A and B are shown apart, each in its own frame.
Chain A
Amino acid sequence: MIPYNFTFLSHPKICSGLKALEHIPFELESLNARKPLVITSSRWAKKGLARTLTKALYDSNITIGALFTNAPNYPSVTIINELSKLYRDRGCDSIIALGSGGIAHIAKAVNMVVSLKTDILKCTDLTISSPLKPLICIPTADCEGGEMAAIAYYECFEKQSDFLYPDVIVIDSRITRHATSHEVANCALTSLAHAIEACGIAAPNPINDAYAHTALQFIYQYLPKTIKRPCNKDGSVAIVNAAACADTAFSNAPHGIVHTLAQAIVLDTNLQPGIVMGILLRYSLAAKLHAKGGIRPELLLALAGIDTYAKTPEKDRQKTAYDYLIKCIDATCNYAPSTLKGLNIPHYKLKEYARLAAAKNKQHKETEYMALLEKSFEGK
């Protein structure tokens, strides 16, 4: 590996662990903010997470500008505009996104609108050249990928910019342990796919690899346990940490074939992205193993640790790494089938997905997308 020729940026500060929420007032003030707009969904509000956050801000100078508890999972122009208005009316100066998925993306979009003082639809073509308002992300364990990355999805658009990283990521077990097993599986598989795709590129980036490897390590160690008991404190925190690492790795690498295809499928079917990515990843890894270059043996080091890595003969390392990865994916077998057919995706739609993916990400040809889809369909 050549230790130069790369760029890497990871902006967010990660506060993880016991009483991490209580760090928020300090972090906010160090970002020169005193009045955050809190965005969360009614589901998390009902589970008492909004209350936990409010209590964590007690005994500080932080006033919550508005606690918006009705955020939908879809980042629409309507909700973004309404929240931007609320932000301005209340004179807020920062945003806290409590929850994953759409909530985080809504927060990012609102941040763009209020920082750049423009319409959200115009943001798509705009180059962001200065830091946005402080944004704190408090992810729950139902991440769908991209929440903690330098990317924002809204409506059918996606916007990439280094300034879209959240400033602080707070991972606290009081927040992460409320997701269901299904959501944890989805989150882990998304992170797995993003991490592997980030370190599987032709020109590896050593720092990015470190992040991806950390994500893989967390997932391998904690996934089986957390799927069984999603309310497990350590497990859920580890999975969300893995998501944070994978998101950073994902931001610093080009989008992979699995990610692009999964997005195309999810758009049409409303399935959870992780479940689709898990299936596609399984067959893309198998294809890679037999292709020239193969899987990088360093993955084994990340997954199994130095002992196993050293014990395994050099020529077997790729295969062993592959086995370990498949073991990770298999841990979710109760929640995700192993083929696209198992998801009841009709075969005639595959062509459309391949076409959509090829239009979106031109690094691969439509035939490559189609080949992977065909392989994943029946698992041959």
Chain B
Amino acid sequence: MNALQYPEIKPKKKFIKRIYIAVMLWVVGRAIQAAAKVDSEVKEEFAKLKDNFLLKMWIWPNGPAMYVGKTKDGKVKYLGWKDKGYKPTLTMTIKSVEAAMLLFTFQEGTAISTARNRLVVDGDLPDACALVRILNIVEVYLLPKIIAKLAVKRYPKWSQMNPFRKHFGRILIYVRAFTF
């Protein structure tokens, strides 16, 4: 056997997909921060969480990451994508770039993604559930109904979120997310 015929193969990088995911993570992170101020439901959910709550959502093994945490004064803040020695209380690991792509191109919702074993959660389960609920609300705000329907487990009914709250909240969140 000629071993040279069967070379070692080093893994290449998927740059474009990573950039897309990084952008999406940034948008979602900023949007969570904004929603915590705008939406009462999100605010409530965050209020119930521990004071030192810090979420790390990242792509395994060395992919882009997002840190969202509560500051000392109880405000929710997007802490950026760099690890500055944070100690996350809740880590959501997405198993691969492809899994993240499925999630962030809204082919699979968070619930399905977890069910299909693409998301690994490290931390308190109630926290994780709360976070999934928050993400769902944020997605409803960020995305048009046709896409958001795919991404969330149950699209909120009229009684849960009336159009006024939705559209007004959407504008506010977009404005807050993209202004510094």
- Cross-chain contact A63 with B11 (CB below 8 angstroms): yes
Interface size in chain A (residues, C-beta < 8 A): 29
A59 touches B1 (CB 8 A): no
63-120 of chain B: CB within 8 A of chain A: 63, 95-99, 102, 116-118
Which listed residue, B13, B18, B62, B98, touches A19 by the CB 8 Å rule?
Answer: B98
Q: Does A64 contact B (CB under 8 A)?
A: yes
Q: Which residues of A contact B60 (CB under 8 A)?
A: 25-26
B9, A86: Cβ atoms under 8 Å? no
Q: Which stretch from A65-73, A120-128, A253-261, A330-338 is at the chain B interface?
A: A65-73
A167 lies within 8 A of chain B by Cβ:
no
Chain B neighbourhood of A89, CB < 8 A:
3
Instruction: Decide if A60 touches B61 in the complex (CB within 8 Å).
Output: yes
CB pair B95–A22 under 8 Å, yes or no, is yes
B98, A67: Cβ atoms under 8 Å? no
Is there an interface contact between A86 and B6, defined as CB atoms closer than 8 Å? yes
Residues of B within 8 A of A26 (CB): 60-61, 95-96
* Alpha-carbon distance between A87 and B95 when the two chains are bound, in angstroms: 27
- Give the number of A-B contacts (CB < 8 Å): 75
A58 CA to B9 CA, complexed, in Å: 10
A61-B117 contact in complex given A26-B96, A67-B6, A68-B6, C-beta closer than 8 Å: no
The answer to whether the Cβ of A379 comes within 8 Å of any Cβ in the partner chain is: no
- CB distance B6 to A66 under 8 Å? yes
Q: Whole-angstrom distance between the alpha carbons of A86 and B96 in the complex?
A: 29
Q: Is A63 touching B96 in the complex (CB atoms < 8 A)?
A: no
> Is there an interface contact between B1 and A82, defined as CB atoms closer than 8 Å?
yes
Minimum CB distance partner of A57 in chain B: B11
Give the chain B neighbours of A22 by CB distance below 8 A: 95-99
Given the interface pairs A19-B102, A22-B96, A29-B61, the reply to whether A59 lies near B13 with Cβ below 8 Å is yes
A70 to B17, CA, bound (A): 33
Question: Which residue of B11, B61, B117 has the most chain A CB atoms within 10 A of its CB atom?
Answer: B11
B62 proximity list for chain A (CB < 8 A): 61
Set A19, A25, A59, A67: member contacting B9, Cβ < 8 A: A67
Contact A23 B117 (CB under 8 A): yes
C-alpha gap A65/B10 in the complex (Å): 9
A15 an interface residue at 8 Å Cβ cutoff? Answer: yes
* Complex contact A64–B13 (CB within 8 A): no
Neighbouring B residues of A15 by C-beta, 8 Å: 117
Nearest CB on A from B71, distance (A): 33
* Alpha-carbon distance between A54 and B8 when the two chains are bound, in angstroms: 11
* Contact present for A59 and B96 (CB under 8 Å): yes
What's the minimum C-beta distance from A116 to chain B, rounded to whole angstroms?
Answer: 22
Which of A23, A60, A70 makes the CB contact (< 8 A) with B11? A60
Q: Assess whether B12 is interfacial by the CB under 8 Å rule.
A: yes
Query: Is A90 in the interface zone, CB < 8 Å from B?
Result: yes
Give the number of chain B interface residues (Cβ < 8 Å): 27
Q: Which chain B residues in 1-36 approach chain A with CB under 8 Å?
A: 1, 3, 5-14, 17-18
From B8, B63, B95, give the contact of A65 (CB < 8 A). Answer: B8
The reply to whether A59 and B6 form a contact with Cβ atoms under 8 Å apart is no
Q: In the assembly, what is the distance between CA of A22 and CA of B96, in Å?
A: 6
B13 contact from A18, A58, A69, A86, Cβ within 8 A: A58
Q: Which of B5, B14, B61 contacts A25 (CB 8 A)?
A: B61
How many angstroms between the C-alpha atoms of A254 and B11 in the bound complex?
Answer: 43
Tell whether, in the assembled complex, residue A19 and residue B7 are in contact, meaning their CB atoms are under 8 Å apart. Answer: no
Q: Which residues of chain A in 7-27 are interfacial with respect to chain B, using CB atoms and an 8 Å cutoff?
A: 15, 17-19, 22-23, 25-26
| A62 adjacent to chain B (CB < 8 Å) | yes
> Closest CB-CB distance, A173 to chain B, in whole Å?
14
A234 to B110: give the CA distance in the assembly, Å: 23
Q: Beyond A60-B61, A65-B8, is A25–B96 a contact (Cβ under 8 Å)?
A: yes
B116 and A17 within 8 A (CB): yes
- B102 cross-chain contacts in A, Cβ below 8 A: 18-19
Decide: B13 and A66 in contact? CB cutoff 8 A.
no
Q: Most A CB atoms within 10 A — which of B6, B14, B61?
A: B6
Identify A62's interface contact among B6, B11, B116, CB under 8 A: B11
B61 contact set on A, CB distance < 8 A: 25-26, 29, 60-61
A46-86: which residues lie under 8 A (CB-CB) from chain B? Answer: 54, 56-70, 82, 86
CA–CA, A234 and B112, complex, Å: 18
A61 contact set on B, CB distance < 8 A: 11, 61-62
What's the Cα separation between A59 and B6 when bound, in Å? 21
Which residues in B have their C-beta under 8 angstroms from that of A56?
Answer: 98
- A contact residues vs B (CB 8 Å cutoff): 15, 17-19, 22-23, 25-26, 29, 54, 56-70, 82, 86, 89-90
Q: List 10 A-B contacts (CB under 8 A).
A: A22-B97, A29-B61, A57-B9, A59-B11, A59-B96, A59-B97, A60-B11, A61-B11, A66-B8, A67-B7
Nearest first, the 6 A-B pairs at minimum CB distance are A64-B9, A22-B98, A22-B96, A66-B6, A26-B95, A82-B1
Given contacts A26-B96, A61-B61, 5 further A-B contacts (CB under 8 A): A22-B96, A25-B60, A59-B17, A59-B63, A64-B8
